[in-house]
Structure 1
Amino acid sequence: EWDAASGQYYYHMFCKEQPDVNWRNPALRRAILDVFRFWLEHGVDGFRLDVFNVYFKDDQLRDNPRRLGRRPFDSQVHVYDCDRPEMIPLLQEIRALLDSYPERYAVGETFLSTTPKAAGYARPGLLHAAFDFTFLECGWDPAAFLGVIQAIDSQYNDGGWPTYVLGNHDVTRIATRYARGENDERLKVLAALLLTQRGTPFIYQGEEIGMRNVRVPHGEMKDPVGLRYWPFPVGRDGERSPMQWTGETNAGFSGGQPWLRLHPDAASRNVAAQREQPNALFHVYRRLLRLRKELPALRDGMFLPLNYEPRSLLAYLRKDSDQTVLVALNFSRKRNRLVLGGELVRSGWRLVYSTRRTELPDLRNSVLALEPYEGLILEQQ
């Protein structure tokens, strides 16, 4: 991009308002590490590194190979502007700085993410964690989710720590993708799925109350991607509307004019309203988050699937040396049955949590019966 003030060109991988900095410049590198140090000294616990794996570009400025794609960006194989080897020493330097302070943390947004790529960066001496976005590629399909869990789990056996992401500011909201109308029962199943995996779950603001995407007319769009490619529906404003805290003006987000319009349901779908509704999605998230603290096996235990080709039901054990937890998730709008092996039937179980019941289900005849869209968690006694 030409800059008239300096009489020079500059490089930007994304918007022209976002010039890339030259990490090979020692003075710049020191300056940015000093920014880390400044905030660490002020007590910040951690950092999210935006598209960290594109910090470095090819030192010879070679062009990427071409391929077919809808947009210019998609028409390249990103080998010279992504995942360059110079990234590793920088991550080691950042990690060493963070480790010189107690209990600090960094998670990286892995650009063009794959499970092996994210796992390769989330290692001792590198990042504490790197986003794995493969959950985002799953439809309403328990087999797809199981495949992702097994792929992620297989990559973290040497000290790395996985992440799970169902939604963020760049993708259509969970409720818009998966829910049917205003019914949140599917979202409760997904909350139970997300929060019973080994690793760190990330929850995008608003997902805990089931916020839906907002329809933003062209005249109100803010997202540069949406504006550039309009009328193609690739903009991200829909998932970036203000958090819906209350049913008051601007959903309690601000006394001023928010940058984007609110969803029409903000008066009824908000944190304050769901606090008063015992069965609301908000309380499902709260209870599941509490369970992660109470049950160590949910955080650190092995993942052992109980059905290997799930069609409408996903069940698995989370197990460590002291605790066994059974998780059963019914993806169907109809009642479902999970057949248990003899050893599991003979075990004593207690009901830890269910999205649909308050008493332990009857396990006679080696069958665990699940209600429609039920998320069920049992602990072995």
Structure 2
Amino acid sequence: MPLERRTTVLTDPSSYDHEGRAGYPTRSIGSILADLADEDPRIMAGSADLTWSTFLADFPARHPDRFIQAGIAERNLLGIAAGLASCGAVPYMSTFSAFASMQSLDVIRNDHAYTNLPVRTIGTHTGISMGYFGSSHHAIEDIGALRSIPNLTVVSPADLVATEALIRGTVDLPGPVYFRLGRGASGPDVYETTSEVVFGEPTVVRRGSDILVVASGITVHAARDAADALRADGRLDVTVVDLHTIRPFPAQAVADLAAQHDAVVVVEDHVVDGGLGTSVLTALADLDVGVPAYRHGLHDFAIFGPPTHLYRYYGLDAEGIATVVERVSDRAPRDRTIPLWEEADRSRVLAEQQAADALRKPEITFA
């Protein structure tokens, strides 16, 4: 069936719409999975009434008989997936990360991981990328909740190219996989070819010598841009590594990279407790690497607002990350204020945004 949908054009360029109403991408999660399904009769897909919002619509258009629409019933969707997997299918079930992980945690634990079934859960719009929908839709605890579950693989692609590489790299992996995607379209490009991303192996996006920045998912492109800005100004030479495979955690590779630098900064679209930074700190401690490491992420529930504004407010855009990296470099560990992105920074960003909003009133037109 053709991909047709009424579109809403948002004329405010400072934000973005989570459903992609400004245009459906020519390449998407749905088309990636549909291509897989062309080759592999085991591949199925499903949604919890979010087929368009999670960019899955290409799949039912091409394989309607292998698609499950569960409605707004995420736990049922993932329970159905377990049943399909027990019968030999490899189901990919997509919904917003907050619903896939936190609302359905017991299903992932008991029905997928305990039974070690090959269910693939695709959680989109993770972290604070749902913006104005607030804490009920923000997935800022999912890494902490999921990384401790036995048998469960957790990956966090940086863009659509990495998403395809990691989906293809895990299609025959025994046991369940959780894909943590920043948005349905996976955000700005980081990679050109799928060969750049290998499951289980951290990818060095930028090579430097002073500070190691560890990122995953939607924060990778911002960390890359921060490193480019710091290098262009002659301030710091920064390595950026995309730690897309979160579980099983590549501890030795991270420790080896950290040992080559003066300090480590972990950037995460997640609360700092229990997330990617905690895994990095544990790896450095276990392998006796005495390099100071700092976690830059959320310390509380996020406020609500347009996603781009929130990333700026919490210092998770390129400018904020560059600021934090410089502060880590300038201060001895005992002199660092926690967090290094401070209340004064957030107040300044908020005042700047309010001033900018006062100068213009965005218009929304409907097509």
- State the structure with bigger RCO (CA 8 A, min sep 6), 1 or 2: 2
Larger Rg: 1
What is the TM-score normalised by the length of structure 1?
Answer: 0.32
